[in-house]
Amino acid sequence: MRQFGIYIIGDEILSGKRQDAHLSKVIALLSARGLQLSWAHFIGDIPEQITQLLKASMARGEIVFSFGGIGATPDDYTRQCAAAAAGVPIERHAGAVANIEAQYGEAAYPKRVLMADFPQGCELIPNPINRVAGFSIHEHYFVPGFPEMAHPMVEWVLDTYYSHLFHGQDYLEQAIVVTEAGESDLIDLMNSILSRYPMLKLFSLPRTNQRRTTEVGLKGESAYVLAAMLELKAGVSALGYPWVDV
């Protein structure tokens, strides 16, 4: 099962000057294609940290989308960090230059063309809004922080490179809502289920209401999830707590 992750880069997100719009959208785009997001990192404009994280995920061979920091202002570091993580120099990409010139003409120079300086050997990701491309290297896909540009670019990447993965993973998520029980009442049962099904992930989500209510579920390969859920339901009933399927 290929792992998908995202980096959301920028001090403006961490300071609250901008609200993140990418996490929920990527989850939705992946889910619509039968895929799941494995992890997400929010990162400030710290070049050393960005480079270190990119190098680590490149080494793991994961599919990663990175949002933000690919502009040409002094606080944009992502292009340079991606090159450092990949161990290649920055160079001006002829195709990206052509796109910028086609969009802006003479106004492409001297500054806008800086956004065509990418890691050597990268591929372009077309930008449907203003033709200032993103780029990819080692299955890491770098797009702007602007949602109206970034989200169609992510869709293009998924549909262009990963359609063979769509709805091909044996994955199921199921849950029940248990009433009159808090998480502490179910811990022993949850541990027992996991000891018999270590290949699954279990989740427990308490709800704040007048009745003690906890949503408990499992996710992973469908056959194991179905078997484990039967045991979970039987265990909850044996403890005397009512439950309903989510």
Q: Token pair for residue 206?
A: 């308490």
Provide the number of structural domains found in the chain: 2
Same domain, 59 and 120: yes
Are residue 69 and residue 101 in the same domain, yes or no? yes
Residue 92 sits at the vertex; the CA angle it makes with 91 and 97, to the nearest 5 degrees, is 165
Reported confidence tier of residue 211, pLDDT bands at 50, 70, 90 = confident
The reply to whether 37 and 149 lie within a common domain is yes
Domain boundary among 165, 184, 211: 165
pTM (whole model) above 0.75: yes
Same domain, 161 and 191: no
Q: Is the peptide bond before 110 cis (omega within 30 degrees of 0)?
A: yes
Q: Where a domain ends, among 165, 185, 216?
A: 165
- The β-bridge relationship of strands 243-245 and 201-207 is unpaired
Contact in structure between 235 and 195 (CB atoms under 8 Å): no
What is the DSSP secondary-structure string of 226-244? Answer: HHHHHHHHHHHHHTT--EE
Do 126 and 59 fall into the same domain? yes
Domain limits at 217?
172-245
222: CATH: 3.30.70.260
Query: What pLDDT does residue 48 have?
Result: 98
- The residue length of the chain stands at 246
CB crowding 91-104: b at 16 or more within 10 Å, else e: eebeebbebbbeee
List pLDDT tens digits, range 168-206: 989 999 999 999 999 999 999 999 999 999 999 999 999
Note the pLDDT of residue 122.
Answer: 98
* Number of Cβ within a 10 Å radius of residue 192: 13
Mean local confidence (pLDDT), 90-108 = 97
Q: How many CA atoms lie within 13 A of 148 on its CB side?
A: 3
Quote the tokens at residue 21. Answer: 């719009």
| Domain closes at, from 111, 135, 165 | 165
Q: Are residues 145 and 50 in the same domain?
A: yes
Name the pLDDT band for 208 (thresholds 50, 70, 90): confident
- Considering the domain architecture, whether residues 30 and 136 belong to the same structural domain is answered as yes
